[in-house]
With several copies, the nearest count.
Chain A
């Protein structure tokens, strides 16, 4: 069976996020002055072949910990694909 996962990798809370800061500073000049706490991270999507969802998930977690994120500066969350609700933005 193949299982789809999504991962979000983002800089740890205490670290200044240069991309988030740049976006936040730009938004007011573009007319949006009501936005705060912007953070920019990575979104990783992948398909895992495995016998069970549980097994696949624990592999994804290991990949995330060992490779897809750097624990010194980053946190990650795993979203099980089908719990994500896409909204009406064009896709």
Chain B
């Protein structure tokens, strides 16, 4: 049975249809969910897609956080089901506290759309995160992707191995010159402690179709779908 993956559409979500398409292409069963829904239609995993939910005028994710569907998302996270937040989805996950830190305006103050490389970090023993040690080519497109956290929080993030991926050179070297937005420690994506929640600024859903470009998004969807499949069989 194909794992069912819900993609939540908030007013102002933009990459929701792309995420649905990517789920199907990668062998999942895509399910469209709506911000006003209170449940996720029995899906095995959930994606909070990119975009500008509710316009993102006050602060990214500030309003989406209160959407009815978020209670269900939180439940998924707590139950250990896979939750993927991409770009605006990552911002929302931070805003609701499912992931630490926050994303603020890029250091350059400009929006940036570019194909970049990230290196995945291995998950800790205890967690079920994305496999480490891979260099993925994926696009970013955001104006507020600079990851920040207080010093103590940063210490905890590193100590607990919560970093899922960092911006890097094409050969995988972590280097400030390849940091597109000024993120602390080149952080491009984070896990929660149990590894079932992943937030990332790059867009894996735009890096799955070889007709359109590199396929660095495969690794992320493989992780999401296999984690979802585990739930199906569990």
B194 adjacent to chain A (CB < 8 Å):
no
Q: Is the CB of B104 within 8 A of A18?
A: yes
Residues of A within 8 A of B109 (CB): 18-19, 22
Provide the main secondary structure of the chain B interface: loop
Q: Is the CB of B54 within 8 A of A22?
A: yes
Which of A14, A16, A18 touches B55 (beta carbons < 8 Å)?
A: A18
B59 adjacent to chain A (CB < 8 Å):
yes
A49 to B182, CA, bound (A): 30
Chain B 51-94 interface mask (CB, 8 Å, partner A; 1/0) = 00011011100110010000000000000000000000000001
A72 to B103, CA, bound (A): 10
Q: Is the CB of A22 within 8 A of B150?
A: no
A19-B57, A19-B109, A23-B58 are known contacts. Are A11 and B104 too (CB-CB below 8 A)? yes
Residues of B within 8 A of A42 (CB): 58
B13 adjacent to chain A (CB < 8 Å):
no
User: Nearest residue in B to A67 (C-beta to C-beta)?
Assistant: B62
Residues of A within 8 A of B97 (CB): 72
Which of A23, A29, A72 touches B94 (beta carbons < 8 Å)?
A: A72
B127 → chain A, closest Cβ, in Å?
Answer: 22
Which of A23, A29, A67 touches B57 (beta carbons < 8 Å)?
A: A23
A12 adjacent to chain B (CB < 8 Å):
yes
Residues of A within 8 A of B182 (CB): 16, 18
B105 adjacent to chain A (CB < 8 Å):
yes
Residues of B within 8 A of A36 (CB): none
A54 adjacent to chain B (CB < 8 Å):
no
Q: Is the CB of B57 within 8 A of A72?
A: no
Which of B58, B63, B148, B149 touches A40 (beta carbons < 8 Å)?
A: B58
A59 adjacent to chain B (CB < 8 Å):
no
User: Nearest residue in A to B148 (C-beta to C-beta)?
Assistant: A15
A29 to B107, CA, bound (A): 19
User: Nearest residue in B to A31 (C-beta to C-beta)?
Assistant: B66
B116 → chain A, closest Cβ, in Å?
Answer: 19
